[in-house]
Structure 1
Amino acid sequence: MAMFFDPFREFDRVAEQLFDRQGPRLMPMDLYRDGDHYVLSADLPGIDPGSVDIDVDGQLLTIRAQRTGRSEEGVKWITRERPTGAYMRQLNLGQGIDTERITATYENGVMSVLIPISEKAKPRKIEVQRSGDSSQTLTAPELTS
């Protein structure tokens, strides 16, 4: 049987056991903009979707999840690298986000959160009217020059 040894992973495992880390763990995520919304994808493998809690307080988005471990009596662990416990991630959404329309889905261990941009924050054209009968539509770059 082939074995992989990563001294840093082993150091992290030993440190967690020594210091009995009970605080929330960080979940890896990707965040990108796709058109008129942002997409947040967070890795949460083995999480019960019912344990996930997503809330928005002002402009602060918080994702919480819980992974429970196996607690079988008489089991002697050979290795235990899959951490259990609470996971948490917080993001400051900033201005221009429609917090009322945020949605989330969980599929294949990945939590996807769609964060729409508000209508007020989207680029738009402004119509400039002349003092005569005709009107002209200018785009934002033309207004600055």
Structure 2
Amino acid sequence: MFGSLTNFESLFDELRRMEQDMDELFGRWAAPAGIRSVSRGTFPPTNVGATENTVDVYLFAPGLDPKGIDISVQQNLLLVSGERRLTINDKATYYRQERFGGEFRRVITLPEDVDANRVEAKYRDGILQISLQRTEAARPRQIQVQ
């Protein structure tokens, strides 16, 4: 009864192998596999979290020049763009290239209560941290009963 399910697994394995073969044939990077992998087009990987006072965005992007990173906030969108330059040896034969190189752009939707005038950005150890303050009206406050 369950014998046909194993055929699906081998079919997907074969499709994955064919995709990697096509990527190598046409010079594209093979797509990473696994739950912790980042697919193509999502550089840099990003975490977004929030506290009562801030929304914090972390972009994991080693090898960037901080002067070449452009950050802007438009309405409730955070736009981050830049370029990672890679040193490539023309005389070497590469069998696999997984490190992203080139221009990137990420657009991150923010909560509506972010104050676009109160934003800080720091780049350290390959991590770009952007902290956006929430508006005063959005912060919880204690009201005393008289």
TM-score w.r.t. structure 2 length? 0.67
Identity %: 25
**CA drift at 1:53:** 0.7
- Is the 8 Å Cα contact of residues 45 and 109 (structure 1) preserved in structure 2? yes
**CA drift at 1:75:** 3.5
Work out the CA distance in 1 between the residues paired with 2:21 and 2:62.
19
> Gaps (5+ residues) in structure 2?
1-15, 30-39
Q: 1:48 aligns with which of 54, 57, 65?
A: 65
Q: Which residue of 1 aligns with 2:79?
A: 62
> Gaps (5+ residues) in structure 1?
1-7, 129-135, 137-145
**CA drift at 1:39:** 1.2
**CA drift at 1:86:** 1.6
Q: 1:90 aligns with which of 100, 103, 107?
A: 107
Q: 1:10 to 1:99 in 2, by over 3 A?
A: farther
**SS class of match (1:82):** coil
Per-residue CA deviations over 1:36-66 (Å, capped at 9, x if unaligned) read 1111111101112122110111221101121
Larger radius of gyration: 1
**SS class of match (1:120):** helix
**CA drift at 1:115:** 1.1
Work out the CA distance in 1 between the residues paired with 2:25 and 2:54.
41
Q: Which residue of 2 aligns with 1:15?
A: 23
- Matched pairs, number: 121
Q: 1:101 aligns with which of 89, 113, 118?
A: 118
- Is the 8 Å Cα contact of residues 52 and 139 (structure 2) preserved in structure 1? no
Q: 1:77 to 1:18 in 2, by over 3 A?
A: closer
> Over aligned residues, Cα RMSD in angstroms?
3.1
**SS class of match (2:117):** helix
- Is the 8 Å Cα contact of residues 52 and 63 (structure 1) preserved in structure 2? yes
